[in-house]
């Protein structure tokens, strides 16, 4: 009767340390696992290449900071088994690029050309493509020429206008109030030497706007004498020639005093168009007996 009791007592005592040893080992392992994960999670950056040596490296699902190839900071997450971290996730994609394109700070693919913030050359040339008429809103004033003839000494030579010849003609354009056009011709009296009258220097003006016509004369021989018609006024050219100025047709009798040769040179001046106006004109001129 005593042996069975002793057997069970011995068996129970032998079994008890085994149970206690298992609980202690489990508690120790649990504490070790907890301590390791706390240490690795705190150190974070001690991992390299997304994994660490040894088991229980991190807490599953925990995220730590990591360095990206472009110099920015990303994040990596502990794998479910707790043994290693996943790849470093960086802004704009993972650390391993699959598209082959490099992204800039805006997240847009780079074209390989630096951005200066300035418009391209083609845009600049397009914007710099404005003409004077587009800027002023006024049509271009095209003068058929010949130019320049702004000075009396640069007057356009129209040649000889013979006595009894058909009227000659000239034309031009005044571009605004500052434009001046000069012309010159010679009135020949050779065929009319026996005429009983003085020559009539006649100038018929046609224009699509307001302007002034001046006619100046200088006899080849003798003194230059003339009277300005009504509606015009006597004037003297910059070179000292005697003449008349008016706002329309301009004709006058010319007398070369002291000689029977009434040949003379004449100079015509057109000016005083309105400001910013483009005035086309034509003048018929003749040198016939009055």
Q: Looking at the structure, do residues 180 and 256 belong to the same domain, yes or no?
A: yes
Q: CATH number of the domain that 233 lies in?
A: 2.60.120.380
Greater confidence (28 vs 178) lies with 178
pLDDT in tens, 115-127: 444 444 434 333 3
Identify the CA nearest to 152 among candidates 239, 214, 235: 239
End residue of a domain, out of 94, 111, 126:
94
Same domain, 159 and 56: no
Let me know whether 191 and 279 are in one domain.
yes
What is the secondary structure of 148-215 as a DSSP string?
---SGGGPEEEEEEETTPPPEEEEEEEESTT--EEEEEEEE-GGGTT-SS-EEEEEEEEESS--EEEE
Average pLDDT over residues 139-147: 80
Look at phi and psi of residue 17 and say left if phi exceeds 0, alpha if psi is from -120 to 50, else beta. Answer: alpha
* pLDDT per residue as tens digits for the range 208-254: 999 999 999 999 999 999 999 999 999 999 999 999 999 999 999 99
Same domain, residue pair 181 and 81: no
User: Is the domain of 164 the same as that of 58?
Assistant: no
For residue 54, what pLDDT is reported? Answer: 45
Indicate whether 107 belongs to any domain: no
What's the full length of the chain, in residues?
A: 290
* Inside any domain, residue 199: yes
Q: What is the pTM of this model?
A: 0.54
Is residue 174 domain-resident?
yes
Q: What does the pLDDT read at residue 134?
A: 53
What residues pair up with 73 in beta bridges, in sequence order?
67
Which pLDDT score, from 0 to 100, does residue 26 have? Answer: 40
Q: Give domain status of residue 81, yes or no.
A: yes
Extract the runs of DSSP E, i.e. beta strands, from 55-118.
Answer: 63-67, 73-77, 89-90, 93-94
Residue 5 in domain: no
- Is 112 domain-assigned? no
Q: What is the pLDDT of residue 147?
A: 84
pLDDT of residue 19: 39
Residue 154 has pLDDT above 90, yes or no: yes
Cβ 254 vs Cβ 265: under 8 Å: no
Q: Which of 94, 114, 129 is the last residue of a domain?
A: 94
Assign 136 a pLDDT band (cuts: 50, 70, 90). low
For residues 82 and 211, membership in a common domain is answered with no
* Domain identity same for 186 and 285: yes
| Listed range (6-15, 42-51, 66-75) with the worst mean pLDDT | 6-15
d(CA 70, CA 107): 13
Give the mean pLDDT of 55-70.
82
**pLDDT at residue 225 in the model:** 97
Average pLDDT score over residue span 52-67: 75
Which candidate, 139, 208, 203, 133, places its Cα nearest to that of 173? 208
How many whole angstroms separate alpha carbon 100 and alpha carbon 106?
17
Specify if 74 maps to a domain: yes
> What pLDDT is attached to residue 103?
38
Check residue 130 and give its pLDDT.
Answer: 31
Question: According to the per-residue pLDDT averaged within each range, which of 32-36, 147-151, 161-165, 209-213 is highest?
Answer: 209-213
Number of domains in the chain: 2
Q: Same structural domain for residues 168 and 285?
A: yes
Please enumerate in sequence order all residues whose Cβ is within 8 A of that of 285, keeping only pairs 6 or more positions apart, or say none. 158, 161, 167, 168, 169, 170, 185, 201, 202, 203, 204, 266, 268
The reply to whether 283 and 165 lie within a common domain is yes
Domain that holds residue 61: 45-94
Name the strand (E) or helix (H) holding 19: helix 2-43
Instruction: Specify the higher pLDDT residue, 80 or 270.
Output: 270
Cα–Cα separations (whole angstroms), residue 285 to 75, 171, 195, 282: 96, 11, 20, 10
Number of C-beta neighbours around residue 212 at 10 A: 19
Classify residue 128: in a domain, yes or no.
no
pLDDT, one tens digit per residue, over 9-18 is 333 333 434 3
**Do 89 and 169 belong to one domain?**
no
Q: Give pLDDT, residue 6.
A: 32
Residue 72: the pLDDT is 83
63 has pLDDT over 50 = yes
pLDDT tens per residue across span 28-46: 333 333 444 443 433 444 4
Based on the fold, state whether residues 59 and 180 are members of the same structural domain.
no
If asked whether residues 82 and 189 sit together in one domain, one would say: no
Q: Specify the pLDDT at position 96.
A: 43
């Amino acid at each position: 009767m005593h042996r069975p009791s002793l057997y069970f007592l011995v068996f129970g005592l032998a079994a008890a340390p085994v149970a206690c040893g298992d609980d202690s080992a489990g508690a120790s392992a649990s504490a070790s696992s907890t301590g390791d994960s706390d240490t690795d999670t705190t150190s974070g950056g001690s991992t390299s290449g997304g994994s660490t040596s040894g088991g229980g490296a991190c807490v599953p699902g925990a995220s730590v900071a990591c360095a990206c190839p472009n110099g920015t900071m990303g994040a990596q997450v502990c794998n479910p088994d707790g043994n290693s971290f996943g790849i470093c996730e960086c802004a704009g994609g993972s650390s391993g690029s699959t598209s082959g394109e490099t992204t800039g700070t805006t997240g847009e693919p780079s074209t390989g050309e630096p951005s200066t913030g300035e418009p391209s050359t083609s845009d600049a040339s397009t914007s710099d493509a404005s003409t004077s008429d587009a800027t002023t809103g006024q049509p271009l004033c095209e003068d058929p020429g010949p130019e320049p003839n702004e000075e009396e000494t640069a007057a356009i030579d129209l040649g000889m206008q013979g006595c009894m010849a058909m009227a000659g003609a000239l034309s031009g354009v005044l571009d605004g109030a500052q434009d001046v056009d000069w012309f010159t011709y010679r009135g020949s009296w050779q065929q009319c030497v026996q005429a009983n009258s003085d020559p009539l220097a006649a100038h018929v003006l046609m224009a699509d706007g307001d302007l002034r016509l001046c006619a100046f004369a200088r006899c080849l021989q003798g003194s230059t004498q003339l009277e300005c018609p009504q509606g015009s006024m006597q004037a003297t050219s910059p070179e000292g020639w005697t003449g008349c100025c008016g706002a329309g047709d301009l004709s006058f009798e010319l007398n070369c005093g002291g000689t029977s040769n009434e040949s003379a040179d004449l100079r015509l001046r057109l000016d005083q168009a309105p400001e910013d106006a483009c005035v086309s004109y034509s003048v018929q001129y003749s040198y016939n007996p009055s």
